[in-house]
Amino acid sequence: MRSIASSVSPRGIAAIVGVGPRLGLSVARKFAREGYTVAILARDLGRLSTFADEIAREEKAQVFAIRIDCSDSRSVREAFETVLSLGFVEILVYNAYQPTVANNNQPCPTNFADIRLDTFQKSVAVSSVGAFQCAQLVIPGMVERGRGTILFTGCSASLHGIAGYSELCCGKFALRALSQCLAREFQPLGVHVAHAVIDGNVGSPRGALTSEQQQGGGRGWTVDPDAVAQTYWYLHTQDRTAWTQEIDLRPSDPRFF
């Protein structure tokens, strides 16, 4: 764990699981800017510590970097024991998945016959079993306080089977089902659960793009993570008489319609 300041915000903790240099980082930065203590969790503690320093410096916020392997139930439990030792979790954002990746760190297709059972099981574990366990660890405190937000990051693979993406689709289908079940069980108890379908590749924040990329020059640069983070903030601050349970996010590029 990496501590950046001395006391937890009275607003509580925003726990962001699956923090990389794009969406996870943008979401963590947004909630830090809004006054929350932020716990960022992923497997690479060294990179997380760099992110924590960056967010703390830029947003004048308290940030904790905590290692987690979402495919390992013991790792998840120990990570959230650390998170909960800091205070109460007001927001859980689950953004983790285990893709087969190409050199540009984007998911790439795999022939079904070439998928190994252990890699399939790990992908499903990261996308859905880890989400189940994280939610189970924070929901009791949310129910006790009568408030809290859980946001699950999905994608187009949450809705449609895609050739070559069996691992990703099966995990994301399960995550969507989990979100719907939790929303119906815990919304009456004050816990807002929502699933975001991000239909497009998440690129770098718009300020980091070239003019060509900003105009839709490549599929890898189609969704601005800062814009998605703003939507996550909107979901968290919705009035409970009109909660969103699922939202689709896609660029205005006509190729996505």
Whether residue 256 lies inside any domain: the answer is no
Quick one: pLDDT at residue 210? 44
The secondary structure element, H or E, covering residue 172 is helix 166-186
- The rounded distance, in Å, linking the Cα atoms of 205 and 75 is 30
Whether residue 62 lies inside any domain: the answer is yes
Mean pLDDT of 107-125: 87
What Rg value do the Cα atoms of the chain yield, rounded? 17
If one counts every other C-beta atom within 10 angstroms of the C-beta of residue 73, the result is: 14
Q: Tell me the one-letter amino acid at 2.
A: R
pLDDT tens track for 175-194? 999 999 999 999 999 999 99
HSE toward the beta carbon, residue 132, CA cutoff 13 A:
16
Whether residue 255 lies inside any domain: the answer is no
Confidence label for 4 from pLDDT (cuts 50, 70 and 90): very low
Tell me how far CA of residue 18 lies from CA of 21, 52, 152, 243, in angstroms. Answer: 10, 14, 11, 24
Q: How many residues does the chain have?
A: 257
If one counts every other C-beta atom within 10 angstroms of the C-beta of residue 82, the result is: 15
pLDDT tens track for 232-257? 999 999 999 999 999 999 888 756 55
Which backbone phi and psi does 233 adopt, to 5 degrees?
-65, -40
- The rounded distance, in Å, linking the Cα atoms of 17 and 27 is 10
Please say if the pLDDT value at position 149 is more than 70: yes
Strand stretches in the chain, DSSP E? 2-3, 13-17, 37-42, 63-67, 89-94, 148-155, 191-198, 246-249
Which backbone phi and psi does 191 adopt, to 5 degrees?
-105, 120
Quick one: pLDDT at residue 207? 52
Quick one: pLDDT at residue 83? 97
Whether residue 257 lies inside any domain: the answer is no
Whether residue 48 lies inside any domain: the answer is yes
pLDDT tens track for 83-98? 999 999 999 999 997 7
- The rounded distance, in Å, linking the Cα atoms of 25 and 231 is 14
Q: Which domain holds residue 128?
A: 2-250
Tell the residue number behind the tokens 């963590």, with chain if given: 28
Whether residue 67 lies inside any domain: the answer is yes
Whether residue 154 lies inside any domain: the answer is yes
The secondary structure element, H or E, covering residue 32 is helix 23-33
Q: Looking at residue 236, which CATH number applies to its domain?
A: 3.40.50.720
If one counts every other C-beta atom within 10 angstroms of the C-beta of residue 132, the result is: 18
Q: pTM for the whole thing?
A: 0.88
Whether residue 202 lies inside any domain: the answer is yes
Mean pLDDT of 98-112: 64
Task: Please state the domain count of the chain.
Answer: 1
DSSP output for 177-218: HHHHHHHHHHGGGTEEEEEEEE-S-B-S-GGGS-HHHHTT--
HSE toward the beta carbon, residue 4, CA cutoff 13 A:
25
